[in-house]
Structure 1
Amino acid sequence: MTLTQELQVILFKPQGSIDLQGGKALSEQMAAVVPQAHQLWVIDLTKVNFMDSSGLVPLVKGLKAARQSGCRLVLCNVQAPVRLILELTQLDTVFEIFPTYEDIFTPIKDKSLMLVG
């Protein structure tokens, strides 16, 4: 007998600014999802042009909730101003960040690019 687990992708697409108000909206969206093991939570930041420190809170809380539930949370399409905030806070080393949504599902062909650890 063979069992296969379908990957369930939960996509969040915040827009505008992730500040106190935008962060609250993102937190509410994420809280509305009942996490299940093996889900992939994707936060697509294509349309986010600003984030401040209060906007980091829902991202970190979401990552914690996802990990506690056996889910994986990744970021993609991170715009330069948002990437700067993630780099300044060193959260760019905590989150998995992909250049595009499609890159999340593209296997790494060059083994030298794989992270070991």
Structure 2
Amino acid sequence: MILTQELQVILFKPQASIDLEVGMALSEQMAGVVPQPHQLWVIDLAEVNFMDSSGLVPLVKGLKAARQSGCRLVLCNVQTPVRLILELTQLDTVFEIFHTYDDIFTTIKDETLVLAG
């Protein structure tokens, strides 16, 4: 018998820049989601072209909340200016970072999880 777990995807798509104001809004948005085991939190940074140090706070808080609840939080479509901030702070080694949104599901499929439609 094969048991599979359905995966619920929660997508966050911040836009423009993640500074103190946008970071606080992102934190509130993530806090509004009740974490459940087997959720995948995706932060799609395709439309984010700038992030300052205050923008790191919601990412780290979100990662901590996800991990404590048995969720998985990943980043995708990280633009060069944001990637530089993550590299400078060495957070690129803490977060799972995927090139594209589709790359996430290729990897997850390889891990034999079934996605909820």
Distance 1:48 1:107 in 2: 23
Aligned pair count reads 108
Distance 1:84 1:43 in 2: 17
Distance 2:21 2:49 in 1: 14
Q: Aligned residue for 2:27?
A: 27
Identical aligned pairs, as a percentage?
88
If the length of structure 1 is used for normalisation, what is the TM-score? Answer: 0.88
Spell out structure 1 runs of 4+ moving beyond 2 A: 1-4
Write out aligned runs for 1:50-69 (5 A). 50-69=50-69
Matched, 1:16 2:16: yes
Q: Higher relative contact order at CA 8 Å, sep ≥6: structure 1 or structure 2? A: 2
Deviation per residue, 1:36-76 (Å, 9 max, x gap): 00100000000001000000000000000000000000000
Q: Which runs of 5+ in 2 are unaligned?
A: 109-117
Q: Aligned residue for 1:89?
A: 89
Q: CA RMSD in A?
A: 1.4
Matched, 1:48 2:48: yes
Distance 2:67 2:6 in 1: 18
Distance 1:11 1:51 in 2: 19
If the length of structure 2 is used for normalisation, what is the TM-score? Answer: 0.88
